[in-house]
Amino acid sequence: MLKRVLTALVLAPAALAAIWFLPTGGVALLFALVIGLGALEWARLIGLGRGPSGVYLAGLLVLLLLSWLLYRAGPRLEYLFLPALLWWLATLALLARFAGGRALLSLPLEALMGYLVLGYAWLALVALHGLESGPYFFTLLLILVWGADTGAYLVGRRFGRRKLAPRISPGKTWEGVAGGLVFALGGALLVHATLGPGWPALPQLLAVALPTVLFSIVGDLFESMIKRQHGAKDSGNLLPGHGGVLDRIDSLTAAAPIFLLCLSWLQAVQ
């Protein structure tokens, strides 16, 4: 527990400093490094050896470069990220099948899913930072994800009784989900009151925050499903007390594209 807290105390301020003081290009490079480390963990998790893992990483970096060029071309974000929403909705079916003992994913499919999850997460974070008031919205996203994770852990550990998905993640409970929602929304309200640019209004903020938090749980469960399929407890051991990089960004991979998509829809109806 102490290692977990100390690691968080180092990583959280570093991430926030990068978000507020780096230009979008710098953020893109920084998070390409993070996503690249996540890709190596994903490759090893699904059973690729050292050589194939390097090839897998190279493929992801090419994908990120192409995504950057597409982003710079300036398509409307709601069109660019609608496929991400469809993908994360489809994962609900995969989670349900796995929870029922029926899912068995092939190696090519797992490799493709890794590209979808990590590629869309990186592109969403870059595009979010590039928005007007991008650093604020990026911070708000992190507070939602961190609040949901912290609240679920604390409340679930103390009050958790009803299991959420025991075959996928035995420690998660419905009480933890409720605690995560309360912590996340409370943190978002605090950040919005102190740093917010005046938009969105409170009802709109909640309309964005709620699906973001719910999909962050889906992202967490999805990585847990992949780990369970391969008999792994953590995706790696790079971060003391936290496991691997994937273990820290699993919720963010789903939350980021959903958060950005909701924001873009709100802007479109203004």
What pLDDT score was predicted for residue 59? 96
Q: What is the pTM of this model?
A: 0.92
Nearest to 265 by CA among 212, 218, 215: 212
Structure tokens at 154: 């604390």
Residue-wise pLDDT for 25-68, tens only, equals 999 999 999 999 999 999 999 999 889 999 999 999 999 999 99
**What average pLDDT does the chain have?**
89
Contact in structure between 173 and 160 (CB atoms under 8 Å): yes
HSE, side-chain direction, 13 A CA sphere, residue 183: 20
What pLDDT score was predicted for residue 41? 95
DSSP state of 44: H
Residue-wise pLDDT for 92-106, tens only, equals 999 998 887 776 678
**C-alpha separations of 134 from 23, 103, 139, 140, 258 in Å:** 10, 39, 9, 10, 15
What pLDDT score was predicted for residue 127? 94
Task: Return the minimum-mean-pLDDT range out of 29-43, 104-118, 124-138, 190-204.
Answer: 190-204
Q: What does the alpha-carbon distance between residue 135 and residue 22 come to, in Å, rounded to a whole number? A: 9
What residue type is assigned to position 128 of the chain?
L
Long-range contacts made by residues 127-130, C-beta under 8 angstroms, separation at least 24?
127/71, 127/77, 127/80, 127/81, 127/260, 128/256, 128/259, 128/260, 128/263, 129/19, 129/24, 129/27, 129/28, 130/24, 130/71
Residue-wise pLDDT for 66-89, tens only, equals 999 988 887 777 788 999 999 999
Residue-wise pLDDT for 235-264, tens only, equals 876 655 557 899 889 999 999 999 999 998
Q: What does the alpha-carbon distance between residue 100 and residue 94 come to, in Å, rounded to a whole number? A: 10
In terms of pLDDT, which residue wins out, 8 or 151? 151
What pLDDT score was predicted for residue 237? 67
- Mean pLDDT throughout 209-217? 96
Q: What does the alpha-carbon distance between residue 51 and residue 116 come to, in Å, rounded to a whole number? A: 21
What pLDDT score was predicted for residue 2? 43
Domain ranges in the chain are: 2-268
What pLDDT score was predicted for residue 8? 63
- Mean pLDDT throughout 128-148? 94
What pLDDT score was predicted for residue 11? 78
